[in-house]
Amino acid sequence: MLGTYTTPWGESAQLVLADSASVFTWSDAPIEVTMDITGLRTGTAGEQVGTVTWTAGDSTATVPVVLDAALGQPDAWWRLTHPQLLNP
């Protein structure tokens, strides 16, 4: 698990790697890691929401980040009581 995404109405899903990766490096070579995640309001389980990239010298590996569960729409009561949060 890389993190958790939670919507304003309480739906949540974990951010997980879709696959494994490997980068060849020498024992003391630094490895740079970057993660890019898109903003979202709803989503399906397995939907790609970003990437993680590992770089060591000339070697690079990138793996998709996906949701482990669906993020559904808010219910009618939440929409009625939080109209200011529906259109950020």
Instruction: Give, as one character, the DSSP assignment of residue 10.
Output: S
- Give the span between the Cα atoms of 1 and 81, in whole angstroms: 32
Q: What is the mean pLDDT of residues 58-80?
A: 95
Given a cut of 90, is residue 26 above it in pLDDT?
Answer: no
Q: What is the mean pLDDT of residues 1-25?
A: 93
pLDDT of res. 36: 96
Q: The tokens of 58 are what?
A: 């000339």
Given a cut of 80, is residue 86 above it in pLDDT?
Answer: no
pLDDT of res. 88: 56
Query: What is the span of the domain harbouring residue 78?
Result: 3-85
Given a cut of 70, is residue 15 above it in pLDDT?
Answer: yes
> Does residue 39 or residue 53 have the better pLDDT?
53
Spatial contact of 24 and 59, defined as CB atoms under 8 Å apart: yes
Tally of structural domains, the chain: 1
Mean pLDDT of the chain: 92
